[in-house]
Amino acid sequence: MQTITTRHGMIPVAQAPATYPDGSLRACLPAGPCVLNTPVGQLVPQFTARELRKKEVRPITFHPDGTLQALPLESQRVIPSAAGSIPAELLTFHADGSLSRVFPLNGRLSGYWTQEDEAELARPVTLLTPAGILTTTLIGAAFHPSGTIRSLTFWPGQTVSINTPAGMVDTRIGVSFHPDGQIRSVEPARPAAVETPAGEILAHDPDALGINGDSNSLAFHPDGTVSRVITIRTRLTAISPDGRLATFAPTQRESLCGDGEREMIPMSIQFTPDAVIITQAENAPPVHIPLEGHVFFTAPWLSGLAGGLPDLRCTIC
């Protein structure tokens, strides 16, 4: 066993560490106990793998300049942050050394350790966020280099009511914030009516993956106006200056379950200062429609009705 020297402390290793092309340290596996000096205090990296949920030692990784990038911990520790104290089993850091992400749990799921097993270890955390005091069970919290919250990712099944520029929205998966603290995006737990430059749209994406809360289906510009909305319940019609109509609605695809079942494909609508950008399917080319001179209508859309519902809401730009 040898010991390698890092800018954060000495690390005993049993095998050769991974390096960048220039020879600088990229990753290593601790072979024994050690204490590293980090921006959030002195911490002991994971060096044992005796638990069912931790069958192997996770590597410590470093940025090219030698600062910490990812640090798995031997045991859960409470970490200070600008939003409050958060329990952590895994930390990541920005290249400037500031805290990037905190993960309260870091177990590896397998046939012997399930999400339900891991969930039994999860505990609610109370944080002071730009949206107010929130108490929920977290998969992780992310921070801007300045220390302000970038996003919160909720544990599956958790729903939190968030005060957004569009009003209170019951939110699943997560919420993200601009650097100045304004709401950047939320993932509506159920269809939420929001006003946009094209009219009222029901925001909801049943296919949202929930990997993290960084980017969600209802997003806002820093000034609070809607920048993006994903929907399966709204049809959008645009009337051009020469009177031509273009109608866009969520489309369908064959269900992964087969048996001839069909399921909706969420439609993405983005808003820039000059245009509305519609993407009807993941691989479909986006359609850009200038705001100037166009009239937009929205209407509820049900896939079982060929024309949707007749009530229209109009916005003239």
Q: Read off the pLDDT of residues 92-135 as tens digits, 9 standing for 90 and up.
A: 999 999 999 999 999 887 888 888 888 899 999 999 999 999 99
**pLDDT at res. 263:** 80
Identity (one letter) of the amino acid at 200?
A: E
Mean pLDDT of the chain: 90
What band does 69 get if pLDDT is binned at 50, 70 and 90? very high
- Residue 289 sits at φ, ψ, to 5 deg, of -125, 120
**pLDDT at res. 252:** 85
Predicted TM-score of the model (pTM): 0.89
**pLDDT at res. 315:** 47
Please answer whether residues 275 and 289 qualify as being in contact, where contact means their C-beta atoms are separated by less than 8 angstroms. yes
* Percent of the chain residues topping a pLDDT of 90: 77
**pLDDT at res. 142:** 97
Identity (one letter) of the amino acid at 119?
A: A
With a cut of 90, say whether residue 38 has pLDDT above it. Answer: yes
Q: Could you read off the pLDDT of 156-190 as tens digits, one per residue? A: 989 999 999 999 999 999 999 999 999 999 999 99
Q: Could you read off the pLDDT of 224-279 as tens digits, one per residue? A: 999 999 999 999 999 999 999 999 999 887 766 656 577 888 999 999 999 999 99
Residue with tokens 């397998």, as numbered in its chain = 110
Among 212, 53, 49, 46, smallest CA distance to 117 is for: 53
